[in-house]
Amino acid sequence: MIATALKWSRHNLFGKPFDALLSIIVIPGVLWLIYQSLDWALTKAQWDIIPQSLRVLMIGIFPADQAWRAWTAVIIIAALLGAGLGCVFAFRSRHAGFLALVWAAAAVLTGTSDLINLLFMAAAVAVFAGGWAVTSYIPASRRALMAASFIGLIAIFAVMSPPGVGLWGGLLLSILLTLVTAIVSLPIGILLAFGRRSRFSSVRIICTAYIEVMRSVPLILVVYWIWILMPVLAPQWNLADVARGMIGFTLFYSAYVAEYVRSGLQAVPRGQTEAARSLGMSEFDINRSIVLPQAIRVVVPPLVGNVLDIFNTAPLVFIIGLTDFLRAGQMILANPQYGDRTYEVYSFLFLTYFLVGSLITYVARKLEAHLARGSR
């Protein structure tokens, strides 16, 4: 193993004079930075603020006595994520042990000692493993995943709404915003992509104009305008700020999904559609049974990457007064008692965003490799 490491280092880090010079300059700096970071994290940082403020970081200002509703939403989300993961990775017995270690590590690192919270956390991990196993061992269940996702979102809204939608916040709000946008923008984006290729000029012009307008303006402007215009255009609906923020995100990212799907539609050989027409198939059946499945297969990796973009831009909802994960951390630091814990709070936020982003990126790469093997 040491010989392999030395061979890799000689080939990749010191193979050429310029590479050797760059390695000599960069490697000591990186090692010094790692040492300083670990020294601060292990000897100087006061991490007790994280367990004390964990509820605010996770669910914002959601009432503490209604935390079971938030846990129910987490369990539903875990089931959906596990089912989605089962479409890519086969569930194995070793994964159950790994998830148990994740549960134990999360309980220790967050300082969670309350039995109820530990049980809810264990239920979320178990449901995640169950959803993973179902779609992994029963491929037919994957066909119902999209419908199950919409049902799950409706159930989350039904459970979380009674205390007040305006009280949603923390990491849970960021994840909900990401899920709602990713799930709802997919069918809208597919319709826009087909509309841009429509034979009817009016439909084609409208869809093209919508896509180009949304891709030409910043997300924060779209969210802000939806927040302003909804009470004016539809005052009878009285939509909460959370709903208006989700609408803004969905409208914006639907345009990007449409472009991804359109690139996939262009990748489908024209000869297949011509052969289907010669067999007397209708345009609807051709698009539904032949074109769309192949197009989605091509664009799944960028669509998964789009989920990461949504999650990373979720903090923009602060402009309409919502308390997302980043805003929750800023609320904690606004307390004079914790005013000197800036580095600890922002380090925790950084690590959380990094772990979630790394997980999404890892799944996207594995999914791309999986689809590449299946197309050979």
Q: What is the pLDDT of residues 93-123, one digit of tens each?
A: 787 788 888 777 777 766 556 677 788 888 8
What single letter denotes the amino acid at residue 177? L
Contacts of 243 (CB under 8 A, 6+ apart): 165
Question: Using the 8-state DSSP alphabet, how is residue 76 labeled?
Answer: H
Tokens 């959380």 appear where?
352
Q: How many CB atoms lie within 10 A of CB 9?
A: 13
Residue pair 165/240 in contact (Cβ under 8 Å)? The answer is yes
Kindly report the pTM of this predicted structure.
0.85
Residues in the chain: 376
Helices 145-160/67-86 angle, 10° precision: 170
For 82, 83, 134, 139, the CA distances from 89, given in Å and listed in that order, are 10, 10, 12, 12
Q: Which of 55-64, 68-77, 105-114 has the lowest mean pLDDT?
A: 105-114
The answer to whether residue 360 scores a pLDDT higher than 50 is: yes
Q: Is the pLDDT of residue 376 over 50?
A: no
Q: Which of 297, 229, 222 is nearest to 267 (CA)?
A: 297
Q: Which residue has the higher pLDDT, 297 or 352?
A: 352
Please state, for a pLDDT cut of 70, what percent of the chain lies above it.
93
Distance from C-alpha of 340 to C-alpha of 48, rounded to nearest angstrom = 13
